[in-house]
Amino acid sequence: MFDAETEVLGMTTAGSDEEQDDRRVYAVPIDEAMAVVRQILAGDESGTVVIGPKAYLGVILAVDDSSAVTVSRVEGNAPAAKAGVRAGDTITAVDGQRVRSRGELSTVLDGIQPGSTVALEWTTSGGAKRSAPVTVTAAPLN
């Protein structure tokens, strides 16, 4: 984002779907963005800054629900698909750590290296509890 004098004000980080009438764009103030850049350059992996590829299960989660990690879609041939996770299932734990929200799942995955095998636990849409070893891959987008 630039001002009238073409000075950088912020960095665009997200936007709504182009087909929506109410299109919105979100940005981070440039001072905050540059602080993250300096943290990455210093190799300081802490807080929400993860350096390198992130672990990937291959699931698309339902609209943010802070009380559950409900899967709306599973990418074909992804680690979760190979384990048997299906749309409508709820992920309950990864690598022995309980997850109850999208944020908790992200935090747990941030601590796992791609290529690692972890225990994935979930409840099917029919209520059956399942678990399987899953070898996470590197996320296609980081």
Domain range summary for the chain, segments of one domain joined by +: 1-51, 55-138
More confident residue, 11 or 21: 11
* Residue 101 and residue 66 in contact, taking contact as beta carbons nearer than 8 Å: yes
> Can you give the pLDDT at residue 50?
75
Give the confidence band of 18 by pLDDT, cuts at 50, 70, 90: low
Percentage of the chain with pLDDT > 90? 61
User: In the predicted model, is pLDDT for residue 83 greater than 90?
Assistant: yes
C-alpha to C-alpha distance for 55 and 111, rounded to whole angstroms = 8
**Phi and psi dihedrals of 109, rounded to 5?**
-65, -30
CATH architecture of 55-138: Roll (2.30)
C-alpha to C-alpha distance for 86 and 89, rounded to whole angstroms = 6
Over residues 30-68, the pLDDT tens digits come to: 999 999 899 989 988 877 777 888 899 999 998 766 678
User: In the predicted model, is pLDDT for residue 133 greater than 80?
Assistant: yes
> Can you give the pLDDT at residue 71?
95
